[in-house]
């Protein structure tokens, strides 16, 4: 593995000291946001992590290696590069072998982060069950990765273009804790409300970190608790958009995708771009705001998690 993974020096030092580190996915740079917003937002997310006291580690694949902690130059390259592979867990080995640049999805980022011993990740929205999945069987690998990889993912729920009720059902079926941060309702990405109630809630980074630690402790007893944790952070009231407006935009975007015969990994980027176009940029503004907010919250949780681990180790040593 050592020959296949490259860890930025400050990330490696933080991990050695058991200091807080936050993983950031790179698909948002290569496939999620238009230029120049992609690289600008990536840098703002990293800055938000640092301001909250943690070290950011944007993850992707470059030159046949899994990169944990992009440099500024690597971020800029990925934002401008053509033919960047979209890398889920199932694509990692093939993209490493090909030497192509790869931007990792939530699943791909979790897979690599766990191998680097990073256990908190920030993103916009996870993948999930696609609308019409009863015909297409299109279900994101993010969900299966969450069921087997001990990484806490801070997000604004699942992307609004998905079938949110079915996504929540699958998360529950797979044994993945879904926890609201300051909310009792699963957010609908661009909107604060979805009508889907949550069973669990935390209201502080300390509470979130305590829940995560217990989840990992249970996993160490090999009782089938190796799953990740989804911490959902709704968009701010200032940046959120009305649910009915978003549903109308998504319906139109899905019709356009059907007419254009869009399939597979191209569906999500197409729908997000189409929704952004028809909303006249409003969804883009919300997306950027929630990405930065989630990075900040993930860092605060990582700081609390690191502090609790340090206190636990001191207590054991005494």
Catalogue the active-site residues: 25, 159
The first and second tokens of residue 310, run together, are 């340090």
Distance CA 160, CA 130 (A): 10
The three-state DSSP-derived secondary structure of the chain is CHHHEEECHHHHHHHHCCCCEEEECCHHHHHHCCCCHHHHHHHHHHHHHHHCCCEEEEEEEECCEEEECCCHHHHHHHHHCCCCEEECHHHHHHHHHHCCCEEECHHHHHHHHHHCCCCEEECCCECCEECCHHHHCCECHHHHHHCCCCCEEEECCECCCECHHHHHHHHHHCCCCEEEECCCECCECCECCCCCECCEEECCHHHHHHHHHHHHHHHHCCCCCCCCEEEECCCCCCCCCCHHHHHHHHHHHHHHHHHCCCCHHHHHHHHHHHHHHHCCCHHHHHHHHHHHHHHHHHHHHHHHHHHHHHHHHHHHHC
Check if the beta carbon of residue 56 is closer than 8 Å to that of residue 45. yes
The first and second tokens of residue 304, run together, are 């609390």
The first and second tokens of residue 290, run together, are 């929630």
Distance CA 132, CA 258 (A): 11
């Amino acid at each position: 593995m050592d020959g296949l993974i490259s860890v930025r020096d400050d990330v490696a030092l933080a991990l050695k000291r058991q200091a807080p580190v936050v993983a950031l996915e790179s698909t948002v740079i290569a496939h999620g946001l238009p230029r120049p917003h992609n690289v600008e937002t990536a840098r703002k997310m990293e800055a938000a992590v640092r301001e909250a006291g943690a070290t950011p580690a944007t993850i992707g694949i470059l030159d046949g290696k899994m990169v944990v902690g992009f440099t500024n130059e690597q971020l800029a390259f990925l934002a401008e590069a053509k033919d960047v592979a979209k890398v889920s867990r199932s694509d990692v080995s093939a993209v490493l072998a090909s030497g192509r640049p790869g931007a990792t999805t939530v699943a791909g980022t979790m897979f690599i982060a766990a191998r680097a011993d990073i256990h908190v990740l920030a993103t916009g929205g996870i993948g999930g069950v696609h609308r019409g999945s009863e015909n297409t069987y299109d279900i994101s690998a993010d969900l299966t990765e969450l069921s087997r990889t001990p990484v806490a993912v801070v997000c604004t729920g699942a992307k609004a273009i998905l079938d949110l009720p079915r996504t929540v059902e699958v998360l529950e079926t797979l044994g993945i804790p879904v926890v609201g941060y300051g909310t009792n309702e699963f957010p609908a990405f661009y909107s604060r409300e979805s009508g889907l109630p949550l069973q669990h809630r935390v209201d502080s980074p300390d509470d979130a970190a305590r829940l995560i630690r217990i989840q990992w402790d249970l996993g160490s007893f090999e009782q089938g608790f190796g799953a990740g944790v989804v911490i959902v952070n709704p968009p701010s009231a200032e940046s959120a958009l009305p649910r009915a407006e978003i549903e109308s935009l998504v319906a139109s975007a899905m019709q356009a995708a059907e007419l254009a015969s869009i399939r597979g990994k191209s569906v999500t980027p197409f729908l997000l771009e189409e929704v952004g176009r028809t909303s006249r940029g409003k969804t883009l503004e919300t997306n950027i705001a929630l990405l930065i907010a989630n990075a900040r919250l993930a860092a605060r949780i990582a700081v609390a998690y690191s502090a609790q681990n340090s206190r636990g180790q001191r207590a054991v040593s005494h």
